[in-house]
Amino acid sequence: MAIRMIVKEPDEVLHKIAKEVTVVTPNVKKLLDDMADTMYDAEGVGLAAPQVGILKRLIVVDADEEHGLIKMINPEIIGTEGEQLGPEGCLSIPGLNGDVRRAETVTVRGLNREGKEITITGSGLLARAFQHEIDHLNGVLFTDIAEKVYEMTAELSETEE
Q: Is residue 109, in this structure, part of any structural domain at all?
A: yes
Q: Is residue 113, in this structure, part of any structural domain at all?
A: yes
Q: Is residue 4, in this structure, part of any structural domain at all?
A: no
Q: Which residue from 161, 135, 136 is spatially nearest to 51, judged by alpha carbons? A: 136
Is 47 annotated for ligand binding?
A: no
Tell me: the pLDDT tens digits for 4-26?
999 999 999 999 999 999 999 99
Q: Is residue 18, in this structure, part of any structural domain at all?
A: yes
Q: Is residue 2, in this structure, part of any structural domain at all?
A: no
Pairwise CA distance, residues 85 & 122, whole Å: 16
Domain interval for residue 26: 12-160
Domain count, the chain: 1
Tell me: the pLDDT tens digits for 94-138?
999 999 999 999 999 999 999 999 999 999 999 999 999 999 999
Q: What percent of the chain is predicted at pLDDT more than 70? A: 94
Which residues, other chains included, contact 145 with Cβ-Cβ below 8 Å and sequence gap of 6+? Answer: 100, 101, 135
Q: Average model confidence (pLDDT) for the chain?
A: 94
- Catalytic annotation, pick one of 9, 133, 155, 158: 133
Over residues 81-87, the mean pLDDT reads 97
Which pTM value belongs to this model? 0.93
Q: Classify the phi-psi angles of 53: left when phi > 0, otherwise alpha if psi is within -120 to 50, otherwise beta.
A: left
Is 132 annotated for ligand binding?
A: yes
- Can you give 10-72 as a three-state secondary structure string? CCHHHHCCCECCCCCCHHHHHHHHHHHHHHHHCCCCEEEHHHHCCCECEEEECCCCCCCCEEE
Q: Please give the pLDDT value at position 1.
A: 67
Over residues 27-48, the mean pLDDT reads 98
Q: Is residue 145, in this structure, part of any structural domain at all?
A: yes
Q: Is residue 6, in this structure, part of any structural domain at all?
A: no
Is 90 annotated for ligand binding?
A: yes
Q: What is the CATH number of the domain that holds 43?
A: 3.90.45.10
Using 50, 70 and 90 to split pLDDT, how confident is the model at 154?
low
Residue 157 has pLDDT above 80, yes or no: no
Q: Is residue 50, in this structure, part of any structural domain at all?
A: yes
- 114 is a catalytic site residue: no
